[in-house]
Amino acid sequence: MEKFRQDIVWQQEYQKQKAAFQKYVQKTASLKNPDCSNGPVILPVAIHYQGVDVSEANIGCLETLAANQIDILNEDYSATNTDISEWAAVADSFPNTVLGNPCIEFCLATYNHPTGTGIAEGDLAITYNEVTDTFFRADWAGYINLVVVKDYENLGLSFVAGDFSGTTTIINACAFGSDDVPSCLSDAGATTIGPGGGCFTDGIYNKGRTATHEVGHYLGLFHVFCDEVDNQPDCTCDDSVFEAPFNITDTPTSSEAHGGCPDLGPTTTSCGSQDLFMNFMDYVNDECMYMFTSDQSTVMNSWAQFNTFTTDLPVPCEQICPQRCLGVQITR
């Protein structure tokens, strides 16, 4: 039995956000298809580590890991991840699917931190062991808040179409960042993740794609296997939070979540078509997911713009990420 990626999607905000967005997009249908000609939409990020060793040496390691995770997000959300090249070999199996580029950039904020955080100008927006509510960081409204929790019982959790009010995206510490950098979070010798925590050491969630997946939820995507109504996959629903013109028509209907690193063919076919298991919004191993579709990209890019994030620097990122956080500078 393959180990499935397990996450929990928080849908509490779903209807409220959906209604607001539908009203908005009726006036802005031109947002359809992300236009990268003016550069990506920039989202400031704050990272909140919980349950971690805060010795001086380990904080340096945690900063490196944070930068690594931001790099992974930026590759996956600009379609510049190296493994996206694998799409060419399977594209013929998906005649209605268009490879996408969300055109979104994540910056680990360095300036103008919220009042009261105690973080100095120029220092990274990272907090340590100060989370009292893993679901809300109201003081960090306006950011993508990644709460990285050690010994968390799930792999991840996110609001679906998060509202940037301080709602968070939770990532299990075991799955944060890539094992390409030294880990300062994993429990040595642990082999499982689940109730009570613990980390895989078998290379399943080791490429930072849990954050890619969970942030996809935060920006308006459901799973490609269509389980948003009752957590039971079927062949009837769309994998966008939103309705036309921001529905998702270029992912095949699927009723099966997939784990491991499956192959094309009967075992990955449902609802009469090949399942798009290599999509970031399925449950396969990190090394076997590598793409968003064009319609998924439209939904996420538009949701970010609806929440006032822009391709221009002045609002709000100029003050928060003056270097646009391309290549986060680690200073300690």
Q: For the CB of residue 322, give the shortest distance to Zn ion in the complex, in Å.
A: 33
Q: Pattern 4-23, binding to Zn ion, x per CB under 5 A? A: ---x----------------
Q: For the CB of residue 102, give the shortest distance to Zn ion in the complex, in Å.
A: 16
Tell me: does residue 286 bind Zn ion (CB under 5 A): no
Residue closer to Zn ion by CB (options 240, 311) is 240
- The DSSP call for residue 136 is B
Annotated active-site residue 214? The verdict is: yes
Distance of CA 286 to the CA centre of its chain: 13
* Span from 3-11, 21-29, 50-58, 311-319 in contact with Zn ion (CB under 5 A): 3-11
Q: Which of 63, 75, 153, 214 is catalytic?
A: 214
Residue closer to Zn ion by CB (options 171, 328) is 171
Say which residues have a Cβ less than 8 Å from residue 246's Cβ, sequence separation at least 6: 21, 25, 32, 220, 240, 298, 299, 302
296 neighbors 89 (Cβ within 8 angstroms): no
Q: For the CB of residue 110, give the shortest distance to Zn ion in the complex, in Å.
A: 30
Q: For the CB of residue 7, give the shortest distance to Zn ion in the complex, in Å.
A: 4
Contacts for 27-35: CB closer than 8 Å, 24+ residues apart: 28/302, 29/245, 31/298, 31/301, 31/302, 31/305, 32/245, 32/246, 32/298, 32/302, 33/294, 33/298, 34/100, 34/101, 34/102, 34/103, 34/297, 34/298, 34/301, 34/302, 35/103
Residue closer to Zn ion by CB (options 18, 223) is 223
Residue closer to Zn ion by CB (options 142, 252) is 252
Contact residues toward Zn ion (CB under 5 A) are: 7
**Residues annotated catalytic, as ranges:** 214
